[in-house]
Structure 1
Amino acid sequence: MVEYEVVLFDLDGTIIDPKEGITKSVQYALGKMGVAVENCKALESFIGPPLQQSFKEQFGFSDHQANEAISYYRERYKPTGIYENTVYIGMNELLAELKSAGCRLAIATSKPTVFAQNIAEHYDFARYFDVIIGSELDGSRTLKAEVIEETLNQLGNPEISKCVMIGDRKYDIIGAKTNDMESVGVEFGYGSKQELAEANATYIVQTVAQLRDVLMK
């Protein structure tokens, strides 16, 4: 039996581990901007938040510089980085089980919609989702709360008490809360338990198996 009728998933750090594709593409972009970063691990904080926000906060870029860096990022990410992901073990099985149980599933990500759709098709999990919603390539709709709102609109604005948002960063939890929705924070992504707890996630789980226990009761 499912606990929720509508389940929204973040993409990066929740369905897939995007570390290689994102960090190498950020490294490439920074190199083009004259900033050398040798260790890609130092760039893992770029996984989750909107890129413009990360470039500005972490490297002091202006709006113009951040937009320039994003264009360089996409030079590498679009042909190469988009396919440097790993689907978390057990995730496909969970998605299939939720779908079979009658859940409506959606992806709500800060990644541009077109990239999210391509990834979902490439890794063969697009078939589980009713809608896949992300940001726009022009930089609009990057806040997770806005993405969630649009996702709910696309789903016909279901009863919010029957919806849940799943994600690995505080942005997912805060976005859900802004939309009066319950949330599940997953520790197997890129946010810490402390980050998820401080954002007041309804539940916090360590594994895909524990996530299933919350969703299938």
Structure 2
Amino acid sequence: MPDYEWLLFDLDGTLSDPAEGFVNSMNHALVSHDYPARPASELTTYIGPPLEVTMGNLTGSKDSKRIRSLVDKYRERYSETGYAENSLYPGIADTLEHLSQTDGVRLGVCTSKRADFAKRILERFSLLHYFEFVSGGDVGIAKWQQLQGLLADRTISRRSLMIGDRHFDLSAAAKNALPSAGVLWGYGSREELTEHGPAHLFTRPVEIRDLFEHKQ
């Protein structure tokens, strides 16, 4: 049985599926800046990275002010309706409830999404109370820097497992010498995740709680 004190969860693609709100808010931002709307099948491949990275990739712009304006426009719609266009992955609620009752296991969220948006989503699904903290990102802040900060202020210990669906989650953990786990129900492929050497690959949420089946 692994000796983890903290389980750190990504949000988008790990706890919940943000596709509808992400696509609608992204196209709202693009169209408002005279870029063409993109099909959902194209946009969902961008779920996970920081918004400023996605905006730069989609528009080809390197103008920081324009990219900030695009991000602000995305968040304008997301804060009104996009956050609610979100669905919880099957098995997540039961898994978090089980983990919250497991001795010696503590739960946190580390997401590139702004913290206030993340908390609203977690509250909507009645999940927020399972987590001791929610670390959110903002423009110019990478996930590895979020983890670095959590370690520096001793919010988390080195016995922490970062759980996410994209290589950004796994590489952020590696950069801080922390173990990671990939989930295969999100937006990252098995190939993308295995390339970054995760300690675990989960195909169903119940497999996370099974790590601690003898710790009750």
Query: TM-score, normalising length from structure 1?
Result: 0.91
Change in CA separation of 1:163 and 1:40 when aligned onto 2, cut-off 3 Å: same
Give 2:129's aligned amino acid.
R
Q: Partner of 2:128 in structure 1? A: 126
In the alignment, is the contact (CA less than 8 A) between 2:182 and 2:193 conserved in 1?
Answer: yes
Compute the displacement of 1:215 (Å): 4.9
Partner residue, 1:193: 190
In structure 2, runs of 5+ residues without a counterpart are none
In the alignment, does 2:114 pair up with 1:112? yes
SS at match of 2:180: strand
* Superposed displacement of residue 38, structure 1: 4.7
Letter in 1 for 2:143: K
| Deviation at residue 147 of structure 1 after TM alignment | 1.5
Letter paired with 2:66: Q
Contact 1:186–1:211 (Cα < 8 Å) also in 2: no
CA RMSD between the two structures: 1.7
Q: Give the deviation of 1:153 after TM superposition.
A: 4.6
- Asked if 2 retains the 8 angstrom alpha-carbon contact of 1:22 and 1:46, the reply is no
Alpha-carbon displacement from aligned partner over 1:130-163 (angstroms, at most 9, x marks no partner): 0001113xx242x1111222334565342x1x21
- After superposition, the C-alpha distances for 1:105-136 in whole angstroms (9 at most, x for unaligned) are 00000001111111111211000000001113
Amino acid corresponding to residue 17 of structure 1 in structure 2? D
Contact 2:98 / 2:209 at 8 angstroms: preserved in 1?
A: no
The CA deviation at 1:210 is 2.7
Same amino acid, percent of matched pairs: 33
Asked if 2 retains the 8 angstrom alpha-carbon contact of 1:145 and 1:178, the reply is yes
Q: Summarize the alignment of residues 32-181 of structure 1 with structure 2, pairs less than 5 Å apart.
A: 32-62=32-62, 63-102=64-103, 103-136=105-138, 139-141=139-141, 143-153=142-152, 156-158=155-157, 160=158, 162-181=159-178
Inter-CA distance 106–196: structure 2 relative to 1 (3 Å threshold): same
Q: Which amino acid aligns with 1:9?
A: F
Cα distance in 2 for residues equivalent to 1:125 and 1:151? 21
- Mapped to 2, the partners of 1:215 and 1:66 lie a distance apart of 43
Question: How many Å apart are 1:3 and its aligned residue?
Answer: 4.6
* Structure 2 partner of 1:5: 5
Per-residue deviation at 1:55?
A: 1.1
The answer to whether the 8 A contact 1:22-1:81 is kept is yes
Note closer, same or farther for the CA distance 1:112–1:81 as it changes in structure 2 (3 Å cut). Answer: same
Alignment length, in residue pairs? 212
TM-score by length of 2: 0.91
Question: What is the DSSP-based 3-state SS (H/G/I as helix, E as strand, rest coil) of the residue aligned with 2:80?
Answer: coil
Letter of the structure 1 residue corresponding to residue 48 of structure 2? G
Give the deviation of 1:58 after TM superposition: 2.9
CA contact (8 A) 2:102 2:212 kept: no
Query: CA contact under 8 A between 2:6 and 2:156: conserved in structure 1?
Result: no
- Cα distance in 1 for partners of 2:212, 2:9 equals 12
Runs of 5+ unmatched residues, structure 1: none
